Amino acid sequence: MKYKIKSRIWIEADGNILLGEGRVSLLKAIDETGSLSKAAKSLGMSYKKAWSLIDAVNSRAEKPVITTSIGGKSGGGTELTSYGKSLVIAFETINENCWKFLDKEISKTDL
Amino acid sequence: MKYKIKSRIWIEADGNILLGEGRVSLLKAIDETGSLSKAAKSLGMSYKKAWSLIDAVNSRAEKPVITTSIGGKSGGGTELTSYGKSLVIAFETINENCWKFLDKEISKTDL
DNA sequence: AAGCGTTATATTTGTAAAGGTATAACGATT
DNA sequence: AATCGTTATACCTTTACAAATATAACGCTT
């Protein structure tokens, strides 16, 4: 088999993208670092881009995905809500299942 | 369920994209019209873009996907080979199966 | 040999997306 | 009240991609 099959999935809410691979990895980085700026840095992404991605996610999700605080001892921070965590887990498991499914599908063909 | 799950699949050969949705619909239009320029026009796509897409497909596929002729009574033309047809069919059936699979997957969650 | 519609390709132009920079606000700590 | 690291947002620049334009070659047909 010379050919490989690839895929990208995403979740939409009212026609707008809610979650894709990039946003999920950003949410995961937020969960690990407790900060949007640190998360962005860890992914080599500008803070601005990270912020606009998170803004889109938060404005379209049914429930808050993150909580933010400004000021304070550490300057502030961003944390993933438990709802956000469940979104991340659902996305990643479906994504992995999709890959397996597609590999099976293409192995059925005679390409 | 407020959320919808979407996907795009594509087939790669040695890390390069061989076939995606856009290329498949172009191949189908070629099969219907017998001409690359007519196919491009029917899809509202510039000839140049259509040609470069087809060029990429043809240079990466294991076997020729189209045959072209220049000059002649109708000016020339482009036709889909039977191998090209089998590629199109394989892609479309896998794509539809993928959509169904994903709908099932997301309905399992409690998002 | 002139004309036609097509394939094939280079060059330029225009536009939308991404990126960089700057700045304000915030609140605990010192 | 000055400092610090963070969130939040505006503005400008750059860059990558799409689109438009131009041109050549080809081979039936007339």
pLDDT of residue A15: 87
Q: Which of B6, B14, B90 sits opposite A9 (nearest CB)?
A: B6
Looking at the structure of chain A, the number of domains it has is: 1
Q: What is the CATH number of the domain that holds B43?
A: 1.10.10.10
Show the low-confidence residues of chain A (pLDDT under 50): none
pLDDT of residue B2: 84
In sequence order, the β-bridge partners of residue B62 are none
pLDDT of residue B1: 66
Query: Is B8 contained in some domain?
Result: no
CB contact under 8 A, A105 and B94: yes
Query: Is A77 contained in some domain?
Result: yes
Question: At residue A7, what are phi and psi to the nearest 5 degrees?
Answer: -155, 155
Show the low-confidence residues of chain B (pLDDT under 50): none
Within 8 A of A8 by CB-CB distance, chain B residues are: 7-8
CB contact under 8 A, B97 and A86: no
Could you list the residue range(s) of the whole structural domain that residue B35 is in?
Answer: 20-108
Q: Checking DSSP bridges between strand B16-19 and strand B3-13, what pairing results, if any?
A: antiparallel
CB contact under 8 A, A7 and B5: no
Q: Which of A6, A12, A106 sits opposite B3 (nearest CB)?
A: A12
Amino acid at B6: K
Query: Is B93 contained in some domain?
Result: yes
Nearest to B28 by CA among B17, B18, B16, B40: B40
Query: Is B6 contained in some domain?
Result: no
pLDDT of residue A110: 87
Q: Checking DSSP bridges between strand B76-80 and strand B66-70, what pairing results, if any?
A: antiparallel
Nearest chain A residue (CA) to B12: A4
Nearest to B11 by CA among B63, B58, B54, B61: B61
Distance of C1' in D4 from CA in B15, Å: 47
Within 8 A of A111 by CB-CB distance, chain B residues are: 11, 62, 86-87, 90
Query: Is A2 contained in some domain?
Result: no
Query: Is B5 contained in some domain?
Result: no
pTM: 0.91
pLDDT of residue A14: 87
Query: Is A3 contained in some domain?
Result: no
- Which segments within chain A are labelled E, that is strand? 3-13, 16-19, 66-70, 76-80
In order of A11, A14, B13, the CA distances from A23 in angstroms are: 11, 18, 27
How far off is chain A from B2, nearest CA to CA, in Å? 6
